[in-house]
Amino acid sequence: MSSRVFQRTTVDGVETAYLTSGEGEPLVLLHGGEGHRGQFDTFRPWLGDGIRAISYDQRDTGDTRNGPEPYDLARLADDCANLVQALGHERVHVLGASFGGMIAMQLALRHPGRIASLILAGTTPSLAMTESVTDRIATLQPGEHTQFILDLVLTPEGQAADPELVADLRRALRSRPADADARRAAAAHGHDCTARLAEITAPTLVLHGADDLVIRPTVAEFMAARIPGARLEILPHTRHGVTFEARRHVAALVRDFVLGHPVA
């Protein structure tokens, strides 16, 4: 695979930072609520040849620059569609992880013609269907926050067996100013497309960790049962970070799914 290339472009007035690697079927990677464009650095090499992987910093993240105006998940989905257009793609594959999966669902509903295939990884159609961790996070001391997130994303066995994986996850986490966190939290709380899942027309693969403590596997089953023709893969011995601890297995599943639904 070719090396990663960092670039910027202005999309709808927002200076957006993004990374690309590889050549072939365009696959947009949407990072989670605590992540940034580098969240997929250890995942993308396992995708292999024939795929152009694109990840970018969403609003209030990393090197993307936006104003203080509030936004919702629909706006973030439109950002993605506009970036896809700016990069010269008519249609793309989309993988959304956690918060990114919420954006991906909105994208599939608002811009169905741009989606060649949809991969929903460790995500939910409504924040009401997740386990609440906000109150617990609020009680943590600064030094406890990162370990708490690590325990949600990786199994204890994974942390003990692979220190490099833990280091990769630490690098993938991105802190934000309080106002930026508030805008993203408000966007997530406004997300609910449970009644519209049947409207998703893109070929869909639902991936979920069997031991996810944030979003239970029953939520993935709920989504897969309501999205027409969706395929469900529950990953054993995996928590919320499906593209981390199970990255080799997930990359193989994603690769086969993407190449099986070419944009042409």
**Structure-token pair, residue 41:** 């650095």
Asked if 18 contacts 53 with a C-beta cutoff of 8 angstroms, the reply is no
Residue 25 lies in a domain: yes
CA distance 5 to 209: 30
What is the mean pLDDT of the segment spanning 146-155? 91
Residue 20 lies in a domain: yes
What is the mean pLDDT of the segment spanning 62-75? 96
pLDDT higher at 206 or 190: 206
Residue 264 lies in a domain: no
- The radius of gyration of the chain's CA atoms, rounded to the nearest angstrom, is 17
Residue 86 lies in a domain: yes
Residue 211 lies in a domain: yes
**Residue 1, pLDDT above cutoff 50:** no
The total of structural domains in the chain comes to: 1
Per-residue confidence (pLDDT) for residue 3, from 0 to 100: 73
Task: Tell me the helices (H) and strands (E) count for the chain, helix number first.
Answer: 9, 8
Helices (H), 112-205: 134-138, 142-153, 156-161, 163-172, 178-189
| Single pTM value for the model | 0.95
Residue 206 lies in a domain: yes
Distances, alpha carbon 69 to alpha carbons 3, 65, 153, 187, in Å? 35, 12, 30, 12
Q: Which helix (H) or strand (E) holds 56?
A: strand 50-56
Residue 148 lies in a domain: yes
**Residue 2, pLDDT above cutoff 80:** no
Asked if 231 contacts 207 with a C-beta cutoff of 8 angstroms, the reply is no
Per-residue confidence (pLDDT) for residue 146, from 0 to 100: 84
Asked if 22 contacts 7 with a C-beta cutoff of 8 angstroms, the reply is no
**Residue 221, pLDDT above cutoff 80:** yes
Lowest mean pLDDT among 124-138, 160-174, 215-229, 238-252: 124-138
Give residue 44's domain range.
Answer: 5-259
**Structure-token pair, residue 189:** 């709380």
Please calculate the CA angle 202-127-39 and round it to the nearest 5 degrees: 70
Quote the DSSP letter at residue 4: P
Residue 35 lies in a domain: yes
Task: Check which CATH number belongs to the domain holding 230 and give it.
Answer: 3.40.50.1820
Per-residue confidence (pLDDT) for residue 135, from 0 to 100: 59
